[in-house]
Amino acid sequence: MRGRFATVAGIVGLAAGAAVALSPTATATVASAADQAGAAALAPALRRDLGLTAAQVNLRLTQEAAASTLLPAAETAAGAAFAGSWFDNGTLVVGVADAARAEAVRATGALATVVTHSADALDAAKAAIDRQAAAGAPAAVTEWYVDPRANAVVVSVATGARGADVDSFLNQARAAGPIVVAEAAEAPRLFAGDVVGGDAYYINGTARCSIGFSVEGGFVSAGHCGKRGASVTGKDKTAMGTFAGSSFPGNDYSWIETNSSWTPTPTVNGYGNGDVTVTGSRAAAVGASICRSGSTTGWRCGTIQATNATVNYSQGSVSGLTRTNACAEPGDSGGSWVSGTQAQGVTSGGSGNCTKGGTTYFQPVNEILSAYGLSLVTG
């Protein structure tokens, strides 16, 4: 995966470099009518959850759209030296593992920061840890992910849980490549309930999850919500369809084939903040703002902290997740994540709640579409 952006504050210092914000001309170029409509729908929750004014929300969404448009050219300019990227104070920052490629990256309009390890090297280190964990990771090791800002793989360990098994796991991880150890105050859990995007649905008449995004023939959601063949009813408890595919653990995605009584739409429920009409599934940058919709806590926002994270749930580890600081609670599982009008993914799980805040992970929607050969419904 490319275009990864990640943040772990206070772990390591960043390479020096003066940030240059994307110009008004560049940002205006991507401020389409769809982007503006998305900003209007996202604004109330972004103001609430990120502490922004309406003007700051509009500027941020415009700059983030410009950054995502600029990224492919910047990554191409970096070539094999590409070391990840992130959005920082209105600026697209690209890490390069070869100082000779920095000027080519800057020529695209992005800020280049010279680092030690390429994205390919970090991905290889993370993949080695995934293989290591296939035999079982200690429960105290809660997740691991590539952080381009730290230019390392971050491995999170529950606070005060450094036993011999954890030390052994970390020593093996260090042999795979550069790692940074972070403390996790709370272990992630799945957000399935007791038992359109963002609306509730029920599995086998009991458990509740949330709809992710409409696809031709049904919708996508989280894999832990139900197994292949499980029956699904809608929020009104009428028959809706069945799980046509489901993967968990390892992945956390599913798709539900709906019956003829249900019509897929490109709408995500904004829970009073303005509904969002999905126009595509272009991945947003680390550092970008993002909002999620779920049937327990409604509409909540935060920022993307990392991509391609592996989370070690008690039921098994899941790889390829995106890490955020938006909150969620049980029943929100499977729900929609959007950046502007672009679909991003479906809720997997996390820690904390919407009273004290927390960390939440989502499975990127493009991986789900690819896995099942599905077509996203857009407007």
Which of the residues are catalytic? 224, 252, 333
Sign of the CA dihedral running 159, 164, 166, 172: positive
| CA of residue 236 relative to chain centroid, distance | 29
58 and 71 Cβ atoms separated by less than 8 Å: no
Q: Are strands 82-88 and 111-114 parallel, antiparallel or unpaired?
A: unpaired
213 and 220 Cβ atoms separated by less than 8 Å: yes
**Angle made by CA atoms 205, 269, 237, in degrees to the nearest 5:** 20
Residue 150, φ and ψ in degrees, nearest 5: -80, -15
Structure token pair of residue 56:
């700051």
Compute and round to an integer the Cα radius of gyration of the chain.
20
Q: Which residues of 109-136 are buried (b: 16+ CB within 10 A; e: fewer)?
A: bbbbbbbebbbebbbebbbbbbebbeee
Q: In the sheet that 218-221 helps form, which strands lie side by side, from edge to edge? A: 207-210, 200-203, 231-234, 239-247, 253-258, 218-221, 213-215
One-letter-per-residue 3-state SS of 172-239: HHHHHCCEEEEEECCCCEECCCCCCECCEEEECCCEEEECCEEECCEEEECHHHCCCCCEEEECCCCE
Which contiguous run of DSSP H or E holds residue 25? helix 24-29
Structure token pair of residue 206:
């009991």
Helix and strand element counts for the chain (H, E): 7, 22
Distance between CA atoms of residues 281 and 166, nearest Å: 38
